[in-house]
Structure 1
Amino acid sequence: MRAALSTLSRNSATLALRRPLHASTPLPNHTITPTTARTISTTVPRREAPNVTARDTLLPQTHYDFFPSLGSDALPPKGPFTLDLSLLRKEFLQLQAKAHPDLAPQEKKRQAEALSARINEAYKTLQNPLLRAQYLLEMRGVDVAGDETAKVEDPELLMEVLETREVIEEAASEEELQPLRELNERRIAASVGVLEDAFQKDDTAAAKEEAVKLRYWINIRETVDAFEPGKPVVMIH
């Protein structure tokens, strides 16, 4: 298994860090589905596309509008795709403290509960690079989260995912998965870098393609985090 992991690591590093950015092509359906397995999914509920130009209204219209520290030009391509997550969390906690329903008078509790829920959703989305990318693509009319046909047409990547699943299934302990965990975090970082460049250029096709790839890497992270020896693994993308 160590030899297989070593080969996987070399192939994965080359794939994640050196593959050039190119426009997306229609992605065929590809499913990895053992019959009995735990299911881990990384998707968000489908929502109506928010109004990108609504900063002049009194109530926040996009997730970015809730966080004044992001600035008036926070949305890509004017703003960066990557965010200061520590600052975002600090401001989130301040917002929730002010908007807590227990602090509202009885006649305004429902409004306060709705606002608190919206703040939670905004923070959950923006602090996660995959959910953030999917949200920004929704704003451009591309539903990656709800599109079950959005798969990567790349035999090398798909083989890598299959080999990764085998490594996880054969592991006897969490310690054996540490090299895979570190490798996968490098994959995620590489994908975030590609998304940064794609959104800066407002290249929706490239951003969609990389968001689909990132969904594989995030799914692997969640599968490793939920690892239990002897349990079969299925990765839903």
Structure 2
Amino acid sequence: MSFFRTISTARPRPRCALPHHRPPPSTPRARGLFTTRPTAIPCASCGRPLPTNLPACTSCWTIRALPAGTTHHELFGLPAAPNPFDVDAALLKRRFLAAQSSCHPDAWATKSATDGELAHALSSRLNEAYQTLLHPLARAEYILAQHGQAVAEGDQVEDQEFMMEVMEAREAIEEATPADVDAIEELLARNQAHTSATTAEIRDLAARQAWGPMKAAAVRLRYLHGIARAGQQWVDNV
């Protein structure tokens, strides 16, 4: 039975329950997890504390490349333990803005060409890390890649029931007419609920370091995001 409500004006199908993928019991959130402050790192040139975790000192205006292997979490001074999937979006944004101000290319425009290139490289990496950690699917894929479980474009969901539900939802969107606006919005609301449940499942799997099951859940989340994009595009074009 599909959790998506298929649209049909001639012979409507019954509304059904969410798919059988039930997230495991929630893992308690660690107290104080997001109060961690980045460790003050001294500038290699002047010895003064760097304003952020980036090797860019606005006291003596020295900038360097990131050390090899620097993770996205380390860039923002965010804990990767006990659960790397737990990221406080507000804290992430504050630290992103602070770091961006210290390495923004405009701030280094009057320095040497090498410094300007380093600032561009740091700024680019910072933006990539921010967008990756901000969005749950990108964050999950990043964490999985770190643990040898990279998600590829061609990865498939083995659960045939889930795939049938996805196909039904996509067909419902493709075949919808302007009279089906309410039904499409209901489908999208149900898809969002399933997306939230799958995201919670990924969080709990990450806490247990169950990388294989987490990868399977991330692949399912990709399909749910595809439904959301297709449905929103349909709504925008009506």
State the TM-score, normalizing by the size of structure 2.
Answer: 0.69
Contact 2:198 2:221 (C-alpha < 8 Å) held by counterparts: yes
Counterpart Cα distance in 1 of 2:214 and 2:73: 19
Match of 1:160 among 165, 168, 186: 165
Match of 1:223 among 227, 230, 235: 230
Ranked by relative contact order (alpha carbons within 8 Å, sequence separation 6 or more), the top structure is 1
Q: Tell me if 1:112 matches 2:116.
A: no
Match of 1:75 among 66, 71, 80: 80
Match of 1:192 among 187, 191, 199: 199
Counterpart Cα distance in 2 of 1:230 and 1:95: 39
Q: Tell me if 1:87 matches 2:91.
A: yes
Identity %: 34
- Relative to structure 1, the CA distance from residue 14 to residue 63 in structure 2 (aligned partners, 3 Å threshold; closer, same or farther) is same
Deviation at 1:97, TM superposition (A): 2.2
The AA in structure 1 aligned to 2:167 is L
Counterpart Cα distance in 1 of 2:107 and 2:228: 38
Contact 2:23 2:198 (C-alpha < 8 Å) held by counterparts: no
Computed over aligned residues only, the root mean square deviation of the Cα atoms, in angstroms, reads 2.8
The AA in structure 2 aligned to 1:155 is Q
The AA in structure 1 aligned to 2:74 is D
The AA in structure 2 aligned to 1:118 is R
1:143-197: CA deviations, max 9, x gaps? 21x351x211112111101110122112234554211121111111111111111
- Relative to structure 1, the CA distance from residue 98 to residue 57 in structure 2 (aligned partners, 3 Å threshold; closer, same or farther) is closer
The AA in structure 2 aligned to 1:161 is V
Equivalent position SS for 1:143? coil
Contact 1:188 1:217 (C-alpha < 8 Å) held by counterparts: yes
Q: Which residue of 1 aligns with 2:176?
A: 171
Match of 2:148 among 141, 145, 153: 141
Aligned pairs for 1:24-63 within 5 A: 59=66, 61-63=70-72
Q: Tell me if 1:212 matches 2:219.
A: yes
1:206-230: CA deviations, max 9, x gaps? 1111111111111111222222689
Contact 2:144 2:211 (C-alpha < 8 Å) held by counterparts: yes
Equivalent position SS for 2:234? coil
Deviates more, 1:221-230 or 1:134-143: 221-230
State the TM-score, normalizing by the size of structure 1.
Answer: 0.69
Equivalent position SS for 2:20? helix
Contact 1:67 1:91 (C-alpha < 8 Å) held by counterparts: yes
Match of 1:129 among 127, 136, 140: 136
Contact 2:24 2:204 (C-alpha < 8 Å) held by counterparts: no
Q: Structure 1 stretches of 5 or more lacking a match?
A: 22-55, 232-237
Report the count of equivalent residues: 186
